[in-house]
Chains A and B, each alone.
Chain A
Amino acid sequence: MTDKERILEVRDLVKHFPLTQGIVVKRQIGAIKAVDGVSFDLHKGETLGIVGESGCGKSTLAKVLMALERPTSGSVRISGRDIAKAKGAELKHMRRNIQMVMQDPYTSLNPRMTVGDIVGEPYEIHTEVAPRGDRRRRVQELLEVVGLNPDHINRYPHQFSGGQRQRIGIARGLALQPEIIVCDEPVSALDVSIQAQVINLLERLQDEFNLAYIFIAHDLSVVRHISDRVGVMYLGKFVELGKDVEIYDRPAHPYTQALLSAVPVPDPEGREQRERIILQGDPPSPANPPSGCRFRTRCWKAQEICAQEEPLLQIRTGTGHESACHFAETHDVVHVG
């Protein structure tokens, strides 16, 4: 991947949401540390999958990347320019290059707008991209690209099925010809038989337009299928980052191992013998994460050093990719997908 152009550079990204007390005089009594020091790169045409449990900060990360939320600190550089600090016309211009596909195609499309208005709305905001007279034709082209009938341009969202609505959302994401698309759980609201159609579409579009995807999902086998690299998040931090085979076949962090072993395998053969790491309890609150390593409260390898010293995300002896564990050790768990 090093030969490819680096298009997104995220460094030490932090997003804390303040917790306040009092009605008249608000005092800050703490913070939800939703994203707490995340760094990664994304290259042209590449897919970075991000997995983790609910509450680990995946969606907040997506919002900060899109500049929908301002980070507490850290930088998000798109082609060298920091979108986190950009304002006004510059921010507007940069947003053309990073677009989003939302999770729920039932609530992310305005029911009172026609498909043409929805997909064409980016052109209303970025008027320089397409001249007014040309917009309808462009929208029809986009509908065709995502596999919808261009004659349905005047229909409303409720006239489409879930899978078709997600295609509308994808067409809207493509309208400004971005280089990066952030997909936040793009298939989890869809039926199993429709998921494969949408994943195939996303892959075809990537080849056709050389798109880079940030693909956030909780379905680990889908993430493996589509991703070149995968980052595993736990309580606002990456605990492991590597190529898909490294993460899935040689996971080094105990959390990744537990996560992978918890995924049910769609094959009943030998299910009694399968190794299963069942984590006890729930993740701790991001308002008050444990000291040192955040995973130590649920980890079977935890020792004294884990409470005192925070393990950094780095390549460790015996492993070929980055992990954040003092006792990182590759371990082949059940195969996912």
Chain B
Amino acid sequence: MKKTSADVLPVEGGFGNEPLLAVDNLHVEFHTRQGTVRAVNGVSYTVSAGETLAVLGESGSGKSVTAQAIMGILDVPPAVIPKGEIRFKGTDLLKLTEEARTQVRGQRVAMIFQDALSALNPVFTVGWQISEMFRVHRGMSKADAMKKAVELMDRVRIPAARQRVNDYPHQFSGGMRQRIMIAMSIALDPEVLIADEPTTALDVTVQAQIMELLAELQRESQMGLILITHDLGVVADVADKIAVMYAGRIVENAPVHDIYKGPAHPYTKGLLDSIPRVDLKGQDLYAIKGLPPNLLDLPTGCAFHPRCPYRQDNCVTDHPPLHEISGTRGSACHYWREVLDD
């Protein structure tokens, strides 16, 4: 018996005022021999249909771990989710059975990975890998699924899709491989797409092509897009709102225009100030001093305090909550007013 996916999807419509996807006070820990790595410490964000949320952060800030928790692809153990909810249309994904989770993964919430070459299987043709989505989730025949694969390759604008469907990943360029990844991720019309550094490994000209393609697909299908990146330029180009992460926490969230006009957290301000600018040529770049913290041994109080130019005594002892600046904006800094005024 062929069952269509809709029969068994655990999550269906009617989610009132809830945003499409809401991460709520999520904690993720890794238990290692050296101790407990607290990678995500109470992260909350939301994304609505047609909206682009950029999650900005450096390596080790927890931005990818949060995404993996949403997808349900963390290795448990060593990863543990002691607290938090991930609500997709009002249903907490963390409470679903593994079987129900599989129905969401790839169909309703899909993900694009950074390095397309290592994310694709080198021993299967790209057509086989794209059509696998239809065979497994939709129970299509091989021939029908392959036809769908060609359509998708056309849709992500891979030239001569019909001839190339039986090629292997290594026969494609980096940009084309990333297009294949995108084709796989949008195959089943997901409602939320998570793109984890989708253009980091690519040249700027190819990056522009890929970002344009993503924007177009989003316009067509009104997907919610979570874009994980460290590139302040890409964020300014495409995001509607931003969540800045540091040491497993969100230190600032805001609509995109607000943050570039005036950041409200010293870390965001430091990142923006360290971008080379024409009028400052010949001078030293502003550099955030020191190093990102060790997640095995986070600083007390505010995790950014050892590097912060605004530090006061209470920063060392008191962890700053995410202060609400306006309805859509927050900053996890005791002195956000001073930062905003500078």
Q: In chain B between 264 and 316, which residues have their CB closer than 8 angstroms to a CB of chain A?
A: 270-272, 274-278, 280-281, 284-289, 291-292
Q: Is A196 an interface residue (CB 8 A)?
A: yes
Chain B contacts for A335, CB-based, 8 A:
278
Contact of A196 among B174, B239, B288 (CB under 8 A): B288
Q: In chain B between 235 and 274, which residues have their CB closer than 8 angstroms to a CB of chain A?
A: 235-237, 239, 256-257, 260, 270-272, 274
A-B contact count (CB 8 A): 114
Q: Is B206 an interface residue (CB 8 A)?
A: yes
In the complex, the answer to whether B260 meets A267 with C-beta atoms within 8 Å is: yes
A199 and B275 alpha carbons, distance in the complex (Å): 11
A195 and B288 alpha carbons, distance in the complex (Å): 10
Contact of A53 among B176, B203, B286 (CB under 8 A): B203
A225 and B283 alpha carbons, distance in the complex (Å): 9
Contact of A200 among B58, B232, B260, B287 (CB under 8 A): B287
Q: Is B233 an interface residue (CB 8 A)?
A: yes
A281 and B175 alpha carbons, distance in the complex (Å): 9
Contact with A along B30-70 (1 / 0, CB 8 A): 00000000000000000000000000001100000000000
Size category, A interface: 35 or more
Q: Which stretch from B3-11, B71-79, B207-215 is at the chain A interface?
A: B207-215
Interface centre among B207, B239, B280, B284, by most chain A C-beta atoms within 10 angstroms, is: B284
Q: In chain A between 285 and 303, which residues have their CB closer than 8 angstroms to a CB of chain B?
A: none
Chain B contacts for A275, CB-based, 8 A:
none
Chain A contacts for B59, CB-based, 8 A:
191
Q: Is A314 an interface residue (CB 8 A)?
A: no
Q: Is B234 an interface residue (CB 8 A)?
A: yes
B-side residues, CB < 8 A to A, are: 58-59, 159, 173-176, 203-209, 211-212, 230-237, 239, 256-257, 260, 270-272, 274-278, 280-281, 284-289, 291-292
List 10 extra interface pairs beyond A196-B285, A278-B205, CB under 8 A: A163-B291, A194-B291, A220-B204, A224-B276, A258-B205, A262-B204, A263-B233, A266-B232, A268-B237, A279-B205
> Can you identify 9 A-B contacts, CB atoms within 8 angstroms?
A191-B58, A196-B286, A200-B285, A224-B281, A225-B281, A244-B281, A267-B236, A279-B205, A335-B278
A-side residues, CB < 8 A to B, are: 53-54, 161, 163-164, 191-197, 199-200, 203, 218, 220-222, 224-225, 244, 248, 258-259, 262-269, 271, 276, 278-282, 335, 337
What are the nearest 4 A-B pairs in CB distance? A264-B233, A225-B276, A196-B287, A196-B274
